[in-house]
Amino acid sequence: MQPVAAQLDAQQPPEQPRLLTLKRVAMAAATAFVAANIWTGCPLLALWVGSMAVGKQTLSMGAVGIVVVVLAVLVFAMALLLTWLNNVYDELTGRPRVERRSAWLRSMRAESERHVSQRAGVTALERIVMVNVYVAVVTLVVWYVFFAAPPAPTLCTMHC
């Protein structure tokens, strides 16, 4: 006698390869969009919210605090979204889950996490996020080395 879940899976038609490929491409596009917005869209939106809080006044610590809080909330939400996208992608591709536990909570005969993750490899979504981080860091370095202006001299260094 088969379990109920196995019977239900047997009754459902297998997903078509084209639909599965389309879903995987959509997940990859969503991951690229979210990963790029972590370092571009989130800071811009946080600055916009801070500028709306300041209005026509001068900059205050309250506005800076608003920018920091909004940025933290947005980046946390985007990181959760990336985690969700990765989990859904893993389910679509049938990738085994690597359960991460502290060493003192694992069984002595349990398989090492590193062996499971080595077998599973790196997914396309993880590669997209890695490339996005590389692009962000290289862009920051290029901007800092070639385009950032030197700091303006202060009055103390000119007249002291």
Q: Read off the pLDDT of residues 80-113 as tens digits, 9 standing for 90 and up.
A: 999 999 988 888 888 776 666 666 666 666 555 5
Report if residue 92 sits inside a domain: yes
Cβ burial, residue 91 (10 Å; 0-12/13-18/19+)? exposed
Kindly state whether residue 104 falls inside one of the protein's structural domains.
Answer: no
Q: Write down the pLDDT at residue 115.
A: 57
Region 12-22: mean pLDDT is 76
Q: What is the pLDDT of residue 20?
A: 87
Residue 103 lies in a domain: no
Q: How many domains does the chain have?
A: 1
Position 134 pLDDT exceeds 70: yes
Mean pLDDT across 48-61: 86
Residue 116 pLDDT greater than 80, yes or no: no
Q: Is the pLDDT confidence value at 4 over 50?
A: no
Record the pTM: 0.68
The tokens for 52 are 């709306």
Quick one: which H or E segment has residue 139?
helix 124-142
Share of the chain above pLDDT 70, in %: 71
Q: State in Å, rounded, how far the first CA of the chain is from the last one.
A: 90
Cα separation, 14 vs 11, in Å, equals 9
Provide the pLDDT for residue 64: 92
**Does the structure show a pLDDT above 80 at 47?**
yes
> For all residues of the chain together, what is the average pLDDT?
81
Q: What is the extent of the structural domain holding 140? A: 14-98+109-159
